[in-house]
Amino acid sequence: MARTHMPKASVIIPVYNGGDYIGETIDSILSQSFHDFELIIVDDGSTDDTADVIHGFRDSRIRYFHQPNSGKPASPRNNAIRKSEGDIIFIFDSDDIMLPGKLATTVQCMELAPGAGLAFTGFACIDETGTIIDPGFLEKNRTLQQLPKRPVTDQAQLIASRAALRGLAASNYLGTSGVAIRREVFDTVGYFDEEVRNSDDFLMWQSIAHQYDLLYLPRIFHHYRVRSGSISLRNIEERAPGLIACVEKMKQFHSADPDALRLLDERIRRYYFEAGYSCFTQYKLSEARSWLLEALKKKIDQPALFYLCLSLLPASLISQLKQLKHRNSSAEA
């Protein structure tokens, strides 16, 4: 049967094996004071009880879709966007918690700033048990705090496109579950890039900031759950190729800004070094040398050169040097 009412907003959630947390996430969204929204959940081939948990809710605003596993968050996210009907699309993760007033306040502020293509809010970090471990993550982000802003209301500040984009070259100051995007923006910039393995959201924020102003709502409007098994906590050498490829794509939005390109190259160099150092600590010395050499091609610096030289030594000797350093540190303490 055809739908007779198009919602003002769409909340989209990609999920994969999220049965432990998706119920709490859905509860927090359905409890919002703003009711004119649909909740679109795209299940990326879950093998746990995710579908059972979702089907346990009896609310006509929930639209559930299942797809074969893609292994990439961009795929179910894009699928959800295409199926959505709201004028404003809220991006949300399947284990985060939406706090009261988020939808109503964001919609109201975006209506007062028609030139802003994207709005984002403050957030707190919680652990797997729901305990707050960081009450205001963005308050410590120096890049965001130093960006020039123009008040729109007492709850929202406008960041001009050029300044927002330059800031994103230095730091990803947007939390994914804090983001709301106007539907027409996707017609202009396209969808999340499904070719990149990591940071597809960070790439999208820059694509939008390249053409639109951003709206910042400092108030804490969601809890971001930090989990031990999350992608961001896996070994850097596993993620570095995807991260580097993504940063290379970011350069297209900064082609006229040498300072921004320098910041992006420094980010790439850092990924190479971190991957090399991680391999070194695991005695994967051949891999360590490959990563560290790439880091040195970007910039000759002492730490990369130091660990490259150490990686030329036998693993047994490196182990002895580590033990000697540890004994000396213990003696000094």
72-125, pLDDT tens digit by residue?
889 999 999 999 999 999 999 999 999 999 999 999 999 999 999 999 999 999
pLDDT top residue among 160 and 326: 160
Confidence at residue 333, expressed as pLDDT on a 0 to 100 scale: 58
- Average pLDDT for 203-223: 98
**The domain boundary residue, chosen from 212, 232, 252:** 232
For residues 114 and 246, membership in a common domain is answered with no
99 within domain boundaries: yes
Confidence at residue 151, expressed as pLDDT on a 0 to 100 scale: 97
Per-residue pLDDT tens digits for 36-85: 999 999 999 999 999 999 999 999 999 999 999 998 889 999 999 999 99
Per-residue pLDDT tens digits for 150-169: 999 999 999 999 999 999 99
The yes-or-no verdict on residue 29 having pLDDT over 90 is yes
CATH code of the domain in which 172 resides: 3.90.550.10
Confidence at residue 197, expressed as pLDDT on a 0 to 100 scale: 80
Specify burial of residue 64 (Cβ count, 10 A radius: 0-12, 13-18, 19+): middle
pLDDT top residue among 197 and 239: 239
Q: Report d(CA 108, CA 85) in Å as an integer.
A: 18
Specify burial of residue 261 (Cβ count, 10 A radius: 0-12, 13-18, 19+): middle
**What is the extent of the structural domain holding 199?**
9-232
Residue 1: pLDDT band by 50, 70, 90 thresholds? very low
Residue 229: pLDDT band by 50, 70, 90 thresholds? low
**The domain boundary residue, chosen from 205, 232, 259:** 232
Confidence at residue 198, expressed as pLDDT on a 0 to 100 scale: 79
Q: Which residues contact 229 (CB under 8 A, 6 or more apart)?
A: none
Per-residue pLDDT tens digits for 32-48: 999 999 999 999 999 99
CA 244 to chain centre: 15
Count of C-beta atoms within a 10 Å radius of residue 274: 18
Nearest to 118 by CA among 35, 32, 211: 211
For residues 161 and 42, membership in a common domain is answered with yes
For residues 159 and 222, membership in a common domain is answered with yes
Nearest to 180 by CA among 151, 152, 145, 204: 204
Enter the pTM of the model: 0.90
Residue in the block written with tokens 């190729």: 241
Q: Report d(CA 19, CA 26) in Å as an integer.
A: 11
